[in-house]
Amino acid sequence: MDDEQQDVLLRNYNFTLSADINGPLLAAVISIEMIAGLIANSFVLIITICHCSSGTWKKPSTLFLTNMLICNLFTVLLVMPLNIISLASRGWIFGVTVDQKLITCNLAGYIYWNSVLLISLSLMLLSIDRWIYIVQAMRYDSLVTPRRALLAIIITWSLAIVLNVTPFFGFGTYNFLESYAGCSPIWEGHVGYVVYMLIIFVSIVGTIVVTSCWTFCYLFMYIRRRKERSSIGPGRKRSIDQYVAARRKLIVLFGVLLFIHFISYLPGIITAGVVIFVSLPKEVYATSYILFLSITTLSPLAQSCFREDIRSKLCKKKEEPPGTVDSSPFTDN
Write out the DSSP string of 116-157: HHHHHHHHHHHHHHHHHHHHTGGGHHHHS-HHHHHHHHHHHH
Residue of 262 and 57 predicted with greater confidence: 262
- Give the mean pLDDT of the chain: 83
**Where along the chain do its domains lie?**
13-304
Furthest-apart CA atoms within the chain: distance in Å: 88
192-233 per-position pLDDT tens digit: 999 999 999 999 999 999 999 998 888 888 777 776 666 555
Specify the pLDDT at position 301: 85
Taking residues 24-51, what's their average pLDDT? 91
Share of the chain above pLDDT 70, in %: 80
Q: How confident is the model at residue 238 (pLDDT cuts 50, 70, 90)?
A: low
All residues at 6 or more sequence positions from 322 whose CB lies less than 8 Å from its CB, including other chains: none
274-288 per-position pLDDT tens digit: 888 888 888 999 999
Tell whether the model's pLDDT for residue 291 goes beyond 90.
yes
CA distance 213 to 221: 12
The CATH number assigned to the domain with range 13-304 reads: 1.20.1070.10
Task: For residue 185, list its beta bridge partners.
Answer: 174
Residue of 273 and 125 predicted with greater confidence: 125
Write the DSSP string, 190-251. -HHHHHHHHHHHHHHHHHHHHHHHHHHHHHHHHHHHHHHHHTSSTTHHHHHHHHHHHHHHHH
Reduced to 3 states (helix: H, G, I; strand: E, B; else coil), residue 185 is strand
Specify the pLDDT at position 311: 60
Residues 173 and 185: beta-carbon distance below 8 Å: yes
Specify the pLDDT at position 320: 44
Specify the pLDDT at position 317: 46
64-103 per-position pLDDT tens digit: 999 999 999 999 999 999 999 999 999 999 988 888 999 9
Q: Which contacts of 51-55 are long-range, i.e. CB under 8 A and separated by 24 or more positions?
A: 51/309, 51/310, 51/313, 52/309
CA distance 228 to 259: 30
CA distance 264 to 258: 10
Taking residues 177-199, what's their average pLDDT? 89
Phi, then psi, of 174 in degrees rounded to 5:
-95, 125
Taking residues 19-24, what's their average pLDDT? 89
